[in-house]
Amino acid sequence: MSTSSTRPPEGRYGRSSDERADRTLKVVGAVLSVLMLGLIGWFGYYYVAQNEISAEMIGFDTAEDSVKVHLEVHKDAGATGYCTVRSQSEDGAEVGRADFRFDKDATRIDEVVTLRTTSRATSAELVGCHAD
């Protein structure tokens, strides 16, 4: 007694449609992977190489109508820019926002800036820094 196979003989009718689909998916996956790696590399380069000014808020001290914010700014020599600081009251309302310029030639600037507020502030936040 013999059993018959439902598969065609090897190599007789060319590739099956499943094999062609698998090869196409592999090619598309490889191309998309290369594009994604290129995009991640470009964003990484842009973030590291083009970011000329950055800062860190060390601390803050609130008063009735102002907030003193201690900032440590790192920038490229000769670069100019500004950092935006905002302050909020206890209920979350914004009571102050200002831009502070940093034009000195030093690459590291440690400075305390005063942000005027419309009412008593309970917090201060460094929103971000931008180069000119």
Q: Which of 19-28, 55-64, 94-103 has the lowest mean pLDDT?
A: 19-28
The whole-chain average pLDDT of the chain stands at: 86
Q: Tell me, what's the pLDDT at 11?
A: 66
- The arrangement of strands across the sheet holding 108-116 comes to 53-62, 66-75, 108-116
Is the pLDDT reported for residue 14 higher than 80?
no
Confidence at 61, pLDDT banded by 50, 70, 90:
very high
**Are 60 and 68 a contacting pair, CB within 8 Å?**
yes
H/E run at residue 46:
helix 17-50
Q: Residue 16: its pLDDT value, please? A: 65
Task: Check residue 4 and give its pLDDT.
Answer: 66
For range 95-124, the mean pLDDT: 90
Residue 1, pLDDT > 80, answer no
What integer is the mean pLDDT of 93-122? 90
Q: Please give the helix or strand (H or E) that residue 34 lies within, else none.
A: helix 17-50
